[in-house]
Copies of this chain bind each other. A is one copy, B any other.
Amino acid sequence: MKLYVVGIGPGEDCQLTGKAIRAIEESQLVIGYDVYIDLIKHLLPDKETLTTPMKKEVDRCKLAVEAAMAGKKVAVISSGDAGIYGMAGLIYEVLAEYKATDIQIEVIPGITAASSAAAVLGAPLTHDFAVISLSDLLTPWEVIGKRLRLAAEAGFAICIYNPSSKKRSDYLKKACEIILTVADRDTPCGYVRNIGREGQTSKILTLEELVQEQVDMFSTVIIGNKNTRVINDRLVTSRGYKGI
């Protein structure tokens, strides 16, 4: 029995891969966080769906594994890429607990926010980069802070997921202050809100300006490195090609 874990990309249909669409179409039951099910509901006419609220990830995976064990073809969906802060890892962990060895998991990658935000802002991730989530639900802030500092010391461009939430409205500020201990104040940065969805907006600004910026949980932030410049209102990290 097959259990698909599908990344649906940022949200708009045209950013799903053919493989993702086929897996969803083939499945009898589609499970996901309600906001993501909503994004693709027009792809699911007459299909059984099951939604669970945010923070109910373990329950969602258990429901998926139990349905697959009962003989249903199931797709669990994540926004972006199912393997990057998505449900793929948890599905493997839950499946191991159930000892359901006859179920075969197939992870179908999607366009992750690092890729889609970078494309909107220009080309800030053309070279080495780090991806860091500011959510401290499952990771202590000390670990997050250390990673931010070392990523800046390493000269990575940094892509920040989950930059903010109601309970941690000052986390992006704290993150920028850590990076500022290493990086220049005028390091070019940018963020995109609602990527690929209605009301998409983006902004390019310096690291010093980003410290003061209010950015919400629907945003992805990219902080450049020493090779990042603003060219025609776009963020571009140069790889150092000669002869341009």
**A interface, CB within 8 angstroms of B:** 7, 9, 12-19, 22, 57-58, 81-86, 88-97, 101, 105, 107-112, 114-116, 118-119, 122-133, 138-139, 143, 146-147, 150-151, 153-156, 231-232, 234, 236-244
Q: Assess whether A90 is in contact with B239, with CB atoms less than 8 Å apart.
A: yes
Q: Assess whether B154 is in contact with A90, with CB atoms less than 8 Å apart.
A: no
Given A83-B126, A89-B126, A109-B118, A18:B22 Cβ within 8 A: no
Q: Which one of B14, B96, B128 contacts A18 once the chains associate, using CB atoms below 8 Å?
A: B14
Closest B residue to A237 using CB positions: B89
Q: Assess whether A126 is in contact with B85, with CB atoms less than 8 Å apart.
A: yes
**A86 → chain B closest CB, angstroms:** 7
Distance of A16 Cα from B110 Cα, bound (Å): 10
Q: A85-B127, A94-B244, A154-B154 are in contact. List 20 more A-B contacts (CB 8 A).
A: A14-B18, A14-B19, A15-B19, A16-B18, A17-B111, A58-B241, A81-B115, A84-B115, A85-B239, A89-B122, A89-B236, A93-B231, A96-B231, A107-B119, A108-B119, A111-B111, A127-B133, A146-B155, A150-B153, A151-B154
